[in-house]
């Protein structure tokens, strides 16, 4: 099998916000097919499509009620087949989401399982008796707030839900459940998909003894400050509710299936020790091909934090493989998050290039190639239950999920002829794709040029990565192969910075030849220093 995925650029599509093709106000599969020329022109290797399966949409498709059915909101199965064919015709691979750890409470499996304790699927979900006082079996908490157990009067037991109460957790310790999950994967493999993004894949197995999670040593003022969005979930060490060692067996079963079809697995890891878990889940050739975490999706975009995070991933996951991401449909837009909510074009360019020049596969979230800032969504128009539950401490994920702006002068920015499911942010019209395409100063053209540049540089595709010391919020590192060494320096600061050549360790006496071919704001190489204007960068080949 080709290892194309090791340095792939994957473009994440959130289908309900990408393109509406039928005037429903919601994006759909035909809308994605319609925009395939745009995706190809950007220069990515693959697309990852978030869930489009049959679902009551309590969590926007991550609560699946029919794994082999397209929800009518997005179209029909033949629409997916047409999308897949069109993507392949454009030379683009297709990765689709799969949710193996839980289903919707409307899934037929759960409807049967909840009926009594003796049916054929009685052990397909995580059920437990109440404590003698009627309280839940243990202290586990839901990511979305509150306890992780819901009482079911039909069985007279609690069921586990790590997310919404309408998302009961499957019991993947049961071999029948794993086989059913693998069968659903194979359904899509037979249709020709190139791989899967596996949602919350380390949540598939829990501690069978249902032991309590220990409390963290977190000061009360740290919790009440809102640093962890005011959720008690952050007050526990999550030792027992996910990432059980036996889950690695499931990862190996998944890999065996995918290898038969030449497909890839990208796992989403949500864990307090995500770097170690990524290493475990992607180690060798028998588990997942690659995985990503939320480590680079926090609020700190300083050079020191990025260096520390990537070095930790490199060290702790060194026997595995990372897919790096700085944005997705679950976090605030990076253009706002890493600029203290003061987005600017230059920073947006730098963030995309920085991501694409690190070691590993990378994932670009739709709209980040346009430099979209976080959208403001008023409370009365919120759709995300996470935001509704925690408002106003946390506004939810709707701000990064608003529709793609395609045409500046069109109603709803060309996304839909009807009222969109979320409003288009007023600031996004001026950043529309039609306005940026062909504009040499735009974020879009910068990202597109750099992705082409990247494909011509062996060191960026295959090279090792080594960081130099951080100076003045300037991130500097090398990418090296046997035939090429590149020095990359990013000034993430709002002031001009000078990096003395003597601070570049062994490269102090080397000849540096500046490389062009991308449109980012660039610095200069002087005899004794690198000169970097605010929010600029340079790439030099070491001779």
Q: What domains can you pick out in the chain, each with its CATH number?
A: 4-101+175-206+241-452 (3.20.20.80), 462-542 (2.60.40.1180)
Mapped onto helix, strand or coil, the DSSP state of residue 202 is: helix
Which residues are CB-neighbours of 94 under 8 A, at least 6 positions away? 46, 47, 49, 83, 84, 87, 88, 192, 193, 194, 195
Residue of 86, 268, 295, 425 with catalytic role? 268
268 classed as catalytic: yes
Residue of 63, 105, 199, 369 with catalytic role? 199
Q: What is the pTM of this model?
A: 0.96
Q: What pLDDT sits at residue 319?
A: 86
Angstrom CA distances, 108 to 56, 74, 104, 115, 150, stand at 13, 21, 9, 11, 18
Give the torsion through C-alpha atoms of 434, 439, 443, 449, to 10 deg. Answer: 110
Cis omega (within 30 of 0) for bond into 296: no
Q: What pLDDT sits at residue 506?
A: 67
Mapped onto helix, strand or coil, the DSSP state of residue 30 is: helix
Q: What pLDDT sits at residue 461?
A: 97
Given a contact cutoff of 8 angstroms between Cβ atoms, the answer to whether 19 and 38 are in contact is no
Ranges in the chain, pLDDT < 70: 1, 218-230, 505-506, 508
């Amino acid at each position: 099998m080709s290892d194309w995925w090791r340095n792939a650029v994957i473009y994440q599509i959130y289908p309900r916000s990408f393109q509406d093709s039928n005037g429903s106000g919601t994006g759909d599969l035909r809308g994605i097919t319609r925009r395939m020329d745009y995706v190809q022109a950007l220069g990515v290797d693959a697309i990852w499509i978030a869930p489009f399966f049959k679902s009551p949409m309590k969590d926007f498709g991550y609560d699946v009620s029919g794994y082999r059915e397209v929800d009518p909101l997005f179209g029909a199965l033949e629409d997916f087949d047409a999308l897949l064919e069109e993507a392949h015709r454009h030379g683009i691979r297709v990765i689709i989401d799969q949710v193996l750890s839980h289903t919707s409470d409307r899934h037929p499996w759960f409807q049967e399982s909840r009926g009594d304790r003796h049916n054929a699927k009685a052990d397909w979900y995580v059920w437990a008796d109440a404590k003698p006082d009627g309280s839940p079996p243990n202290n586990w908490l839901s990511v979305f707030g509150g306890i992780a157990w819901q009482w079911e009067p039909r069985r007279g037991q609690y069921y586990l839900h790590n997310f919404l109460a309408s998302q009961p957790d499957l019991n993947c310790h049961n071999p029948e459940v794993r086989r059913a999950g693998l069968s659903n994967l194979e359904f899509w493999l037979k249709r020709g998909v190139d791989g899967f993004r596996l949602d919350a894949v380390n949540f598939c197995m829990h501690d069978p003894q249902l032991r309590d999670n220990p409390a963290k040593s977190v000061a009360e003022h740290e919790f009440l400050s809102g640093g962890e969005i005011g959720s008690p979930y952050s007050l526990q060490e999550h030792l027992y509710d996910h990432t059980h060692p036996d889950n690695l067996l499931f990862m190996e079963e998944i890999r065996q299936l995918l290898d038969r079809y030449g497909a890839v697995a990208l796992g989403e890891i949500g864990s307090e020790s995500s770097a170690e878990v990524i290493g475990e889940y992607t180690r060798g050739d028998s588990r997942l091909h690659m995985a990503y975490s939320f480590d680079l999706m926090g609020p700190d975009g300083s050079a020191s934090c990025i260096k520390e995070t990537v070095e930790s991933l490199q060290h702790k996951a060194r026997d595995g493989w990372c897919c790096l991401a700085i944005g997705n449909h679950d976090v605030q837009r990076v253009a706002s998050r890493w600029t203290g909510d003061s987005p600017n074009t230059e920073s947006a360019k730098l963030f995309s290039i920085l991501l694409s020049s690190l070691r590993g596969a990378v994932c670009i979230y739709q709209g980040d190639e346009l430099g979209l800032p976080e959208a403001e969504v008023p409370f009365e128009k919120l759709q995300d239950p996470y935001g509704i539950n925690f408002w106003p401490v946390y506004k939810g994920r709707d701000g990064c999920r608003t529709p793609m702006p395609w045409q500046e002068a069109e109603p709803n920015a060309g996304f839909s002829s009807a009222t969109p499911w979320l409003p288009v942010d007023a600031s996004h019209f001026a950043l529309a794709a039609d306005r940026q395409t062909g504009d040499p100063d735009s974020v879009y053209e910068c990202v597109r040029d750099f992705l082409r540049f990247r494909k011509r540089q062996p060191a960026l595709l295959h090279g090792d990565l080594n960081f130099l010391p951080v100076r003045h919020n300037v991130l500097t590192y090398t990418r090296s192969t046997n035939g090429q060494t590149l020095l990359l320096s990013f000034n993430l600061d709002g002031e001009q910075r000078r990096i003395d050549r003597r601070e570049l360790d062994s490269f102090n006496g080397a000849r540096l030849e500046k490389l062009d071919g991308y449109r980012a704001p660039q610095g200069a190489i002087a005899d004794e220093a690198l000169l970097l204007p605010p929010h600029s960068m340079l790439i030099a080949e070491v001779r």
